[in-house]
Amino acid sequence: MKATCSFVFLISFLLLFPFSSADDYPGQAFIHCLVFQTNVSITDVTYTPNNASYEPIYEFSLRNPRFNNSDRLKPEVIVTPVSESQVQSVVRCARRTHLRIRTRCGGHDFEGLSYSSTYDDIPFVLLDMINLRNVTVNVAAKTATVGAGATLGELYYWIYRASGTLAFPAGVWSTVGATGLICGGGCLRKYS
């Protein structure tokens, strides 16, 4: 019985962690880590260059197209989490697999630091906060809770919907990430 259990475990382990091959890329270990870190499926919001959705997701909120060229290092993996626990898993797995994290909220990064790199050759993960864009307005307390992926336009809209008299002074570009503007530039700058 012990030999059978050990054999089944070994086969399972080999299926989950295949031997290195020419097809491996730096994000492979990161994705394996994510699968084990999350209780919910994160593969639905994880994109690699081999995925047909990778380029459209990468280019969706890229506001400065000059950074979308072959001279720039693109992310090994793009993750668009739908929960805070998935963000935590991305941070843990990036650290364990020695990948940097670049975070994108609104995409108005005029230096291109949130979605590409020319300064080093260190592979990175793009943590795109687009799915975490909820805005909750408490009219009585005159406060708003803003998700990391919400834009100024969304913040203005939900404040307007909640109250005809409350407002939030910020900027005129509705597509700028609200948290980046509120935090002084960048929703969650680069992690190493």
Instruction: Encode pLDDT of 87-106 as tens digits.
Output: 999 999 999 999 999 888 87
pLDDT at 157: 94
Q: What pTM was estimated for this model as a whole?
A: 0.77
The answer to whether 129 and 103 are in contact (CB under 8 A) is: yes
Per DSSP, the residues of the chain read: -HHHHHHHHHHHHHHHSPPP-TT--THHHHHHHHHHH-SS--GGGEE-TTSTTHHHHHHHT---GGG-STTSBPPSEEE--SSHHHHHHHHHHHHHTT-EEEEESSS--TT-TTT-BSS----EEEEEGGG---EEEETTTTEEEE-TT-BHHHHHHHHHHH-SS------S-TTSBHHHHHTTS-SS--B-
To the nearest 10°, report the CA torsion of 176, 178, 179, 183: 80
106-161, pLDDT tens digit by residue?
767 767 767 776 666 788 999 999 999 999 999 999 999 999 899 999 999 999 99
CATH 3.50.50.60 fits 26-132, yes or no: no
- Where are the CATH 3.30.43.10 domain residues in the chain? 26-132
